[in-house]
Amino acid sequence: MAKDKDKDTQRKDPNQKAIPTSRVGRFARVARMASGVAGGMLAEGTRQLRAGKRPRARDMLLTPANARRVADQLATMRGAAMKVGQILSMDTGDFLPRELADILARLRSDARYMPTQQLRKVMSDAYGADWEQLFYGFEIKPLAAASIGQVHKAVAPDGREMVLKVQYPGVASSIDSDVDNIATLLRMSGLLPAELDIQPLLNDAKQQLKDEADYHKEADFLQAFGDLLRDDERFLVPELLPDLSRRTVLAMTYVSGKPIESIVALPQAERDRVMTALVELMFLELFELRMVQTDPNFANYLYRSSTGQIVLLDFGATRHFKAGFVNNYRKLLGAAMSHDHARLVAAAERIGYAMGDEDSQYRALVLELFLLALEPLRHEGVYDFAHSDMARRMSELAEEVADYRDFWRAPPTDAMYFHRKLGGMFLLASRVKARVDVNQLIKRFIS
C-alpha cells in the first residue's frame, strides 16, 4: 500500500525527476541541451530578421527560452553539471558575461529530487534490503534537494530526530565528464571568450566536487566545526551520527530553525548581531582555521528564534586554504585598508590576479574594482548594507573591465572560492538590512 502511495506521489509531483546515471545518458542530456539552444537561436534570429533587425549572436543565444533550456537540463542532471553552473554563477562578474551568470543563478534555487524508486535503490545499496528497519518514520519526500544530494528526515534507533543526506546515484563517477561537457558547451556557445583559459579553474572544480561527493570528508568537516563551535553559544551545529553514516549517506541529528532571511522582520539590533556573528565566523575560518565553508547558499543557515542561535548546515563545500594564499590575502586587505596601491597590486599578483601594466587604464580599473569590493572592510565604523549600492556600482565597473579582453584571465581558484563566501555574506547582510562594523572585525585578523 505504501509503495502504491509513493507511485501516486511521484505521478503528481513535477519536482521528481529521474537522474541519468550513465555517462552516455548524461552526455545525451548535454547534447539535447545544445541542440535545443541552437534551435532557439535559429528561431530568434528568424524572428528578428522578419522584424527588420540585424540579429546579434548574443541576443539570439541569451533569450528567456534558452535560459530555461540550460537551467532545466542542468537541474535535471544534478551533480557536477549543476554544481559547475552554481560555482560559475557565484562569480562577481570579473570574467563571466552577466547574462550567463543570470542563467546559471537559476540553479541555486532548484528543488528537484529523485523519484521514489531511485531513492529506494540508493538506500538499499547503502544499508541493505532491510534498510527501512533501521529508521522509524523515514520521510520519502525530502526536506531539501541540492546538486549533490537530498535530505530526508527520520528517527534514529535511540529516538532522536535525525536527517539523512542521500547522494544522487552516478554523481561521483560522472564529475570529470560532466565538467568537461559543460565547459565544451559554454565554449561552443560563444559565451566564454576563446582566449579565456579556464582549464585551471575546471581542474580545481573537479577536485572540489570530488571532495564534496566524499561524504566521509564532509563528516570530518561536520565534526571539526562542531568541535570548534561547541562552546560558542551563538552557533549550533548538527551532531554527526557515524554509526548510521555510509559512503553515500551522511547521518546527523535534526536541528530545526527558520530560514535565515526571516530575521529581516526582527529588530535592528538582532539583525546586526546575527550578521556580525556570521561575518566574524567567515574571517575566523580563513585566517585562523584556513578551512572555509565556501558555499554561501542562504539555505545553509537557519535561525532559532527561541535561543537566537544560528544553525550551520552542509559542510560539503568546505575548502582548505594554503598558508601562502592566506598570508597574501591578509597583505592585500591590509594594503586596501591603508590605501597603499603598490602593496595591493603586489599582493594581488602574488595571489594570481592579472593586474596589467603599470600606469595602464586597465590596472586603474582593476584597482578600483578591488577597493569597491572591499568597501565594507575599508569603511570605518558601522557599514549599513541596507542602504549600500555597492552591488550596482560593482556591476557597472565590471562591465568596463570586461572591455579589456586581452588581459582576461580566469581568477585564482582560491580567491574565487573565498569571494563566493564573501559576496554571499555581503548579499545576505543586504537582504536582512543589517549594519555591521566589518572594519573592526577584520582588524583582529590583519593587524
pLDDT at 25: 56
Among candidate residues 262, 282, 302, the one with its CA nearest the CA of residue 432: 262
pLDDT at 396: 77
Which helix (H) or strand (E) element contains residue 211? helix 199-212
Is there a contact between 262 and 302 (Cβ–Cβ < 8 Å)?
no
Q: Where are the beta strands (DSSP E) in 113-178?
A: 144-145, 149-155, 161-167
Band (440; pLDDT cuts 50, 70, 90)? very high
Q: Please report how the helices 98-105 and 390-402 are oriented relative to each other, as an axis angle in degrees rounded to 10.
A: 130
Per-residue CA distances from 333 to 257, 330, 399, 426 (Å):
34, 5, 24, 16
Among candidate residues 316, 122, 120, the one with its CA nearest the CA of residue 215: 316
Q: 255-271: per-residue pLDDT in tens?
A: 999 999 999 999 999 99
Band (114; pLDDT cuts 50, 70, 90)? confident
Return mean pLDDT, the chain.
79
Q: Which residues, in sequence order, are CB contacts of 382 under 8 Å at separation 6+?
A: 272, 435, 436, 437
Is there a contact between 154 and 135 (Cβ–Cβ < 8 Å)?
yes
Q: What is the CA radius of gyration of the chain?
A: 23
pLDDT at 370: 86
Whether the pLDDT of residue 221 is over 90: the answer is yes
Q: 11-23: per-residue pLDDT in tens?
A: 556 566 555 545 5
Among candidate residues 357, 365, 373, 351, the one with its CA nearest the CA of residue 419: 373
C-alpha distance across the termini of the chain, in Å: 65
Q: 50-87: per-residue pLDDT in tens?
A: 555 554 444 444 455 555 555 555 555 455 555 555 55
Q: 42-60: per-residue pLDDT in tens?
A: 444 445 555 555 544 444 4
Q: 390-424: per-residue pLDDT in tens?
A: 878 877 777 676 666 555 566 788 888 898 899 88
Mean pLDDT of 208-227: 91
d(CA 329, CA 442): 12
Higher-scoring residue by pLDDT: 396, 220: 220
pLDDT at 446: 87
pLDDT at 149: 85
Which residue has cell 548538527?
Answer: 238
Higher-scoring residue by pLDDT: 39, 243: 243
Q: What is the pTM of this model?
A: 0.77
pLDDT at 2: 44
pLDDT at 72: 58
Residue of 91, 178, 295, 314 with catalytic role: 295
Per-residue CA distances from 374 to 65, 224, 259, 263, 330 (Å):
36, 29, 27, 25, 12
6 is catalytic: no
Quick one: CA torsion of 171, 174, 178, 181, rounded to 10 degrees?
-160
Q: Classify residue 234 as exposed, middle or buried by CB count within 10 Å of its CB (0-12, 13-18, 19+).
A: middle
Q: 304-361: per-residue pLDDT in tens?
A: 999 999 999 999 889 999 999 999 999 999 999 998 999 999 999 999 888 878 888 8
Q: Which amino acid is at 275?
A: M
Per mean pLDDT, which range of 6-10, 144-148, 288-292, 436-440 is the poorest? 6-10
pLDDT at 353: 85
pLDDT at 1: 44
Higher-scoring residue by pLDDT: 222, 397: 222
Mean pLDDT of 166-188: 77
Is there a contact between 320 and 308 (Cβ–Cβ < 8 Å)?
no
Band (35; pLDDT cuts 50, 70, 90)? very low
Grid cell at residue 363: 590596472
Per mean pLDDT, which range of 172-176, 299-303, 381-385 is the poorest? 172-176
d(CA 384, CA 99): 28
Q: 135-159: per-residue pLDDT in tens?
A: 999 999 998 877 788 999 999 999 9
